[in-house]
A and B are shown apart, each in its own frame.
Chain A
Amino acid sequence: MNLEIILHAGLATGTILLFAAIGEVFAERAGVLNLGVEGMMLLGAMAGFSTSLSTGNVWLGLLAAIIAGGILSLAHGLVTIHFQADQVVSGLSLTFLGTGLALVLGEGLTGKNPPLVPSLDIPGLSAIPFVGPVFFTDHSLLVYVGYLFVPLAWYYIFHTRPGLHLRAVGEKPDAADTMGVSVYGLRYLYVFVGGCLAGLAGATISLSVSPGWYSVQTTSGQGWIAVGLVIFAQWDPLRAALGAYLFGALRRGILDLQGPATLLGMTNPLYINSNYGFFLQMTPYVLTIIALVIGSRQAARKRLGAPAALGLPYIRGERGL
C-alpha cells in the first residue's frame, strides 16, 4: 500500500482508458454514438501485437493498431451515417465483429514476445520529489504521449475553428450544413478518429501496460468502461483524462488491499480468504455505475447534456441519402 506506486500504476492503466474515452468524445461530439469501442480496442490490441511480432518493429505495431481500429470504425460510419441504421445496434454489432475478427486473426499469438513500447524517465522532471517518481519515471512512452494529447484534444475541440465545426455537426447538423460544413464528411472523419484512438488504446494494453495477447481477456470490458467514462466526463477531454487516471489509480489501490496482513490495526479479511478478491474485482464495474449516476445527475442539474444530435442520423431535406 504505497501511494506512489498506486498513482504510478494508475497513470499507466489510466492511459488505456484515456485514449479510448477521448476517441469516443470526438465521435460523440460529432453526433455519432459508437458503442463498438471494446471491439475496436480488441482488434487494435491484436493488430498491434501481431504486427510488432512479425515485423520486429513496435512502431509499425502501433501504426497497425491505429489503422485497424480506424478501418473497423468506418463500418459503423457507413451503416449509421449513410444507411441511417440505429447507432446503438450498429455499435453492438461492431463489438461482435471486432471481437470475432480479433479472435480469428489472433489465433496462436498467446505466449509470444514481440518488441514492446519502451519505458523511459524524463530527464530533470523525474528528479522532483514525489511528482517525479509518480509522473515522470519509468513510464511507457505512451503515457507521456497521453499527457500531451489531453490538452491538445481539449484545445482543438473548444478553441479552434475545426473544433467549432465538430461541435456544430453534433449539436445542430442542419445549421452546420447551411453554413457549408460537410456534415457527413466530418462525421466520418471523427468516427474514424475515434476508431484510431480506440485501436491505439488496445495496443497500449497489448504492447505496453499489460503486454501479451490473452484473447477476450486482453481488454476485459475496458472499452465499455471508456464509453461510460465519456458520460461521466460530460464530453470534455480534460474530465475524461481525470476520470481515466482516477479510475486507474482506484482500481490498482483496491487490488493492493489484498496485500498486507493487517489493515488499520485489524487482521485483513482479504488477506486471509482470497475468495473475497472476487468482490475486489467487481469494484471497477461498480465504480463505473457510480460514476455514471454522478455524471447523469450533474448533467441533469446543470442542464449540460449530450450533444443535441447524438444518436440521430442526419437526413438532408428530401434528398434522402
Chain B
Amino acid sequence: MKLPFTILFEKRMEDVPKWLPAATSIGSVLIAFLISGIILKLIGGQPLRVAGFFFDATFGSWAAISDTLVKATPLIMVGLACTVAFKMKLWNIGAEGQFYIGAFAASLVVLIPMVPLDSPRIVIIGLMIIMGMIGGAVWGFIPGLLKGKFGVNEIITTLMLNYIAILWNNFWIFNKWSDAGFQMTPPFEKNAWLPRLADYAREFRAFSGITLHLGVVIALVATVVVWWVLERSRWGYEIKLTGDNKEAARYAGINIVRNVILVMMFSGALAGLAGMSEISGVVHRLQERISPGYGFTGIIVAWLAKLNPFAVVLVSILFGALIVAGREIQPSGLAQLLQGIILFMVISSDVLLRYKIRIIRLQSPAAGEVEVA
C-alpha cells in the first residue's frame, strides 16, 4: 500500500518552544483518560458515569477538595524526593520504603517516648519531623553507599529495600507496639497530631469536618527548599551537571561518589518527611498499609512534572484526586492502569520535544508541507 503522504521526523535544531513541554504533559493526561475510558467501555463499564463520579468525589465540594489535597500532600513530598534523585539520573524507586521508615522513625518519638508526652506540641512535632527525615535519609543512605562505592544498581536495591521496610514496620506493629493484638499501634497523643482545619471548627463553622492538615504547608515549604537547592545553590548545580554529563562533572572536579550518597539521603529524607506527615496528620498511629503506593506514584508525578518542583505540586493534586476516586471506583485497578497509561503517554510525547514531525504530500512535495509540532 502506498500512502499519499510521508511522515518525516526531523531533529530539532532550535530551542523547544516554552509552551510545548507543558502542552505535551497536559495532552498526555487527556489522551490517557480517553484510552482508559475506552478500556472501561470495552470491559462493560460506563465511562461517563465513572467520570462524573470521579469529579464529584474529588472536586465536588469543599470536603472533597480537602480530601484531594490531603492525598496530594504526601505525593508532593514523595514527588520532590524523586525529582531530586532523577535530576542526577539516580533512579530512586525506593521512596515507598523511605516513606515507611520515615513514618516508623517519627513514631518512635511517641512510642518510646523520646520526650515526655505532655511536652508542648511544637517540641513533639518538631522532633517527629526531624526523626522522619533521618529515618528516610538512612534508608536512602544504604543504596546510595552501595551505588557510590560499589556501583551496585540502585534501581534494584531501592526496590528490595521497599519490601524490607514494610516487613520491618510490620514486625513492630504486630509485636512490640501492637494495640491489643491488632496490627497497629495505639493512637498517638493529641500533642503528636498535626493541626487540622477541623480543629478550629468552633471558631469557623465552615471548617467542620475539613481534614486538611498542616502537612500541606510542610509540603509547600519543602517545594520551595527543593527549588532553591536545585536552581540557586552550588550543590544543585553539581547535581544537575552530574545528571546531564557525568564525565564533564568528573573533569570539573565534582566528587560524584559523595554526591550520589548525599542526593540519595536528601531524596530519602523528603520521602521520610512524607511518611511523618501522613501518620501525624492523617492516621495518628503507626499501622499497616499507611501508603497506597505513594512512593511509586511519586515517580510518575516527578516525571509528569518534568522534574520541576512547582509543577510537582500541581501534578500531585491531580494524582491526589486519582487516589481519592480510586478508593471507590470499581474495578479497583483502574486508577493504577490510568497512572501507567499517563506515564507511557508522557514519555512517548517526549519525542515531540526532540523532533519536529512533518507530513509531506507526495504529489506536490514543495507546496504541501504541514508542520504538526
Q: Which chain A residues have a beta carbon within 8 Å of chain B's beta carbons?
A: 35, 39, 75, 78-79, 83-86, 88-90, 92-107, 215, 221, 224-225, 227-228, 231, 273, 275-276, 278-279, 281-282, 285-286, 288-289, 292-293, 296-297, 300, 318, 320-321
Contact = CB atoms under 8 A, between A and B. Distances in A.
17 contacts: A79-B348, A84-B351, A85-B348, A88-B91, A93-B344, A102-B333, A104-B331, A104-B334, A106-B333, A225-B160, A231-B153, A273-B175, A285-B163, A286-B160, A292-B146, A293-B152, A321-B355
Contacts of A225: 160
A312 to B, nearest CB: 13
Interface string B36-47: 000100010000
Interface of A is mostly: helix
Nearest to B91: A88
Interface in B328-357: 330-341, 343-344, 347-348, 350-351, 354-355
Contacts of B150: 293, 296-297, 300
B303 interface: yes
Contacts of B164: 282, 285-286
Given A103-B331, A103-B337, A292-B156, A92 B343 contact: yes
Interface in B298-314: 299-300, 303
B218 interface: no
Interface string B91-128: 10100000000000000000000000000000000000
B65 to A, nearest CB: 26
A93 B350 contact: no
A231 B159 CA distance: 15
B171 A275 contact: yes
B175 A296 contact: no
A97 B152 contact: no
B68 to A, nearest CB: 21
Nearest to B143: A289
Nearest to A35: B155
Interface residues of B, number: 50
Contact of A288 (B10, B156, B170): B156
B296 interface: yes
B12 to A, nearest CB: 10
A191 to B, nearest CB: 15
A104 to B, nearest CB: 4
Contacts of B337: 96-97, 100-101, 103-104
Contact of A279 (B10, B39, B157, B167): B167
A297 B150 CA distance: 7
Give 8 nearest A-B pairs by CB, closest first. A103-B333, A100-B337, A97-B340, A96-B340, A93-B343, A100-B336, A278-B171, A285-B160
A302 to B, nearest CB: 14
Most buried by A among B150, B171, B340: B340
A278 B168 contact: yes
Nearest to A79: B348
Contact of A275 (B174, B299, B335, B343): B174
Contacts of B157: 289, 292
A103 B156 contact: no
Most buried by A among B10, B43, B348: B348
A89 B151 contact: no
A44 to B, nearest CB: 16
B43 A105 contact: yes
A320 B11 contact: yes
Most buried by B among A98, A231, A278, A296: A278
Interface in B162-218: 163-164, 167-168, 170-171, 174-175
A281 to B, nearest CB: 5
B9 interface: yes
Contact of B340 (A85, A99, A281): A99
B43 A104 contact: yes
Most buried by A among B146, B151, B164: B164
B354 A84 contact: yes
B171 A100 contact: no
Nearest to B171: A278
Nearest to A292: B152
Contacts of A78: 348
B43 A90 contact: no
Interface string B55-70: 0000000000000000
Contacts of B347: 79, 83, 85-86, 89-90, 93
B324 to A, nearest CB: 17
A101 B336 CA distance: 8
B355 A320 contact: yes
A106 B337 CA distance: 12
Nearest to A220: B163
A227 B338 CA distance: 25
Nearest to A280: B167
Contacts of A100: 333-341
Given A83-B351, A84-B351, A96-B296, A231 B340 contact: no
A39 B341 CA distance: 13
A90 B344 contact: yes
Nearest to A278: B171
Contacts of B296: 96
A227 B93 CA distance: 14
Nearest to B174: A275
Contact of A104 (B11, B170, B333, B339): B333
